[in-house]
Amino acid sequence: LYEMGFLQILIGRSNGRAFGYLMSVISPSLELKDRTLAQHSLFYAAPECPGLGLKLQRAALARLKEKGAHEIFMRAGVRGSGDKMGVLYRRLGAQNFGEMYRLELGA
C-alpha cells in the first residue's frame, strides 16, 4: 500500500528514538465519485511527550489534505483509550460518529 501511495506513516522522533506514530490508509471513495478518503489506523504517542499526539494528528491531516483527501475517519475506543481519543479528535474539529469520528478537509 505504501509503495502505491495508499499508506501514510508519520513517526515522532527525538534523538533517533521513536516516541509516537500515526498510520493512515488512503483510498478512493466507494460512495462518491472523485472523492478521496483516509482512515487513521495505528496510533501511539508516548506519555512522556505531552502534545505529541495532537502534533502527529495535525501533521497527518495537513499531509492528507495535500494528497487530496476530502474526508478522514478516526476510530476511538476500539483497542486503546477511547475517552482520550475522543477528546483529541474533537479538538481537531471532528464530529462524533458513534465510535467513529469524521473530519471533512474540504480538499
- Render the burial of 54-86: b for 16+ CB within 10 Å, e for the rest: eebbeebbeebeebebbbbbbbbeeeeeeeebb
pTM: 0.80
Q: What is the structure's pLDDT at 95?
A: 82
- Percentage of the chain exceeding pLDDT 90: 64
Q: What is the structure's pLDDT at 79?
A: 54
Q: What is the structure's pLDDT at 75?
A: 81
Residue 41 CA to residue 95 CA, distance in Å, equals 17
Q: Could you tell me the pLDDT band of residue 55, with boundaries at 50, 70 and 90?
A: very high
